[in-house]
């Protein structure tokens, strides 16, 4: 019966009619990527490869279908021992209900090519949906399936609000490790809570204050810039590169809040004294940078 329902569903390629949100540039080359193709020659290879992970990206659509399914092909078919497969390469569907984004269900992956009925048996009425993309893999192809004869169109609502997004730069923690599913990544939670688009520039193990990323961030008038690089950056990088990175943002955006995030206190640091010393030294280095900016009368930091 399930196979029959799937064969009767009408599938629509997202690349043909839906925008992909959560990017600083509204580019279609490549579509499922956090950086645009013109940046590939200028950024480190590791950054470019991680930008293919679709963390924080999502599509929105409106349909009157009684069911929603999806077919998607992931780029790498990644697997990790500390993150669920659903978070790594699955999808999360949300529906706008009474002005709030309500979780519907996850599309749980089975491999590189996937075919899932996310929800069925709904009343035939128009609804607004948001589909979050994988946190630690990329997308080669994505299709949305609906009932034959039902309609699916791009959303006309501006929710989450795309004007002045929150732009966040950081580490694997920011990218989404180790959320249980895409919708539970911190950046996606913040986006729903504030009804504001959040741009996820988390690059696992690679938040080294690359100036190319600061220049990209500075292209957008944000509600706030959040800088969460300390877990990856060394003490010397924090001391030498934080202020130049900050200056790139501040040159174009004189009053936008810029938020620095310290290294978290990992539980193992209670016992691992080397790790505890490293965290303390990094946070002290960031505090020195912060105090230096305060002495220069910098505002909104």
Say which range, 7-16, 81-90, 249-258, has the weakest mean pLDDT. 7-16
Q: Are residues 222 and 101 in the same domain?
A: no
Q: Are residues 14 and 66 in the same domain?
A: yes
**pLDDT tens-digit readout, 97-109:** 999 999 999 999 9
Residue 6 pLDDT more than 60? no
Please report, for the domain that includes residue 215, its CATH number.
Answer: 3.40.50.1110
Q: Are residues 177 and 250 in the same domain?
A: yes
Give the per-residue pLDDT at 166: 98
Position 74 in a domain: yes
Q: Are residues 113 and 146 in the same domain?
A: yes
Position 300 in a domain: no
Position 197 in a domain: yes
Q: Are residues 266 and 142 in the same domain?
A: no
Position 245 in a domain: yes
Residue 86 pLDDT more than 60? yes
Residue 5 pLDDT more than 70? no
Residue 46 pLDDT more than 60? yes
Position 103 in a domain: yes
Residue 1 pLDDT more than 70? no
Q: How many CA atoms lie within 13 A of 133 on its CB side?
A: 34
- Could you give the dihedral angle defined by the CA atoms of residues 4, 102, 110 and 49, in that order, rounded to the nearest 10 degrees? 130
**pLDDT tens-digit readout, 157-194:** 999 999 999 999 999 999 999 999 999 999 999 999 99
Q: Are residues 185 and 234 in the same domain?
A: yes
Q: Please say which residue of 154, 179, 203 terminates a domain.
A: 154
Give the per-residue pLDDT at 29: 82
**pLDDT tens-digit readout, 187-243:** 999 999 999 999 999 999 999 999 999 999 999 999 999 999 999 999 999 999 999
Give the per-residue pLDDT at 3: 37
**pLDDT tens-digit readout, 64-76:** 999 999 999 999 9
Q: Please say which residue of 120, 137, 154 terminates a domain.
A: 154
CA-to-CA separations, 205 to 46, 103, 145, 175, in angstroms, rounded = 9, 30, 36, 10
Position 28 in a domain: yes
Q: Are residues 15 and 136 in the same domain?
A: yes
Q: Are residues 188 and 83 in the same domain?
A: no
Q: Are residues 171 and 288 in the same domain?
A: yes
Output phi, psi for 87, to 5 deg.
Answer: -70, -40
How is the beta sheet containing 100-107 ordered, strand by strand? 100-107, 91-97, 127-132, 58-63, 152-154
Position 31 in a domain: yes
Give the per-residue pLDDT at 139: 98
**pLDDT tens-digit readout, 253-297:** 999 999 999 999 999 999 999 999 999 999 999 999 999 999 999
Q: Are residues 18 and 130 in the same domain?
A: yes
Q: For the residues 76-97, what does the mean pLDDT come to?
A: 98
pLDDT band at 2 (very low <50, low <70, confident <90, very high): very low
Q: Are residues 25 and 168 in the same domain?
A: no
pLDDT band at 8 (very low <50, low <70, confident <90, very high): confident
Q: How many domains does the chain have?
A: 2
Position 301 in a domain: no
Please report, for the domain that includes residue 35, its CATH number.
Answer: 2.60.120.260
Residue 256 structural domain: 161-295
H-state helical runs in the chain = 2-8, 14-17, 45-51, 85-89, 172-175, 186-194, 211-217, 235-252, 273-295
- Pairwise CA distance, residues 217 & 229, whole Å: 14
Q: Are the C-beta atoms of residues 283 and 260 closer than 8 Å to each other? A: no
* Residue 26 or residue 139, greater confidence: 139
Give the per-residue pLDDT at 27: 79
Q: Please say which residue of 109, 131, 154 terminates a domain.
A: 154
Q: Are residues 277 and 191 in the same domain?
A: yes
């Amino acid at each position: 019966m399930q196979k029959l329902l799937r064969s009767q569903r009408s599938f629509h390629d997202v690349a043909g009619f839906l925008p992909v949100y959560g990017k600083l540039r509204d580019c279609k080359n490549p579509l499922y990527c956090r950086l645009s193709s013109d940046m590939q020659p200028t950024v480190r290879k590791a950054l470019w490869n991680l930008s293919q992970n679709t963390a924080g990206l999502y599509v929105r659509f409106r349909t009157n279908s009684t069911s929603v399914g999806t077919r998607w092909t992931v780029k790498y078919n990644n697997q990790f021992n500390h993150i669920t497969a659903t978070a790594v390469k699955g999808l999360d569907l949300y529906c706008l209900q009474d002005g709030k984004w309500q979780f519907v269900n996850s599309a749980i992956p089975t491999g590189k090519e996937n075919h899932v009925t996310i929800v069925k048996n709904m009343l035939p009425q128009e609804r607004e949906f948001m589909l979050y993309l994988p946190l630690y893999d990329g997308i080669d192809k994505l299709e949305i399936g609906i009932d034959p004869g039902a309609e699916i169109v791009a959303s006309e609502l501006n929710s989450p609000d795309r004007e002045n997004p929150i732009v966040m730069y950081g580490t694997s923690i920011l990218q989404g490790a180790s959320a249980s599913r895409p919708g539970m990544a911190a950046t996606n939670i913040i986006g729903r809570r504030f009804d504001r688009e959040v741009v996820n520039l988390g690059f696992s193990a690679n938040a080294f204050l690359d100036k190319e990323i600061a220049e990209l961030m500075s292209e957008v008038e944000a509600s706030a810039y959040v800088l969460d690089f300390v877990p990856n950056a060394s003490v010397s990088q924090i001391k030498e590169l934080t202020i130049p990175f900050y200056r790139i943002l501040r040159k174009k955006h004189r009053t936008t809040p810029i938020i620095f995030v310290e290294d978290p206190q990992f539980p193992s640091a209670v016992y691992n004294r080397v790790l505890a010393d490293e965290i303390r030294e990094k946070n002290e280095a960031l505090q020195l940078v912060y105090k230096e900016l305060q002495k220069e009368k910098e505002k909104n930091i």
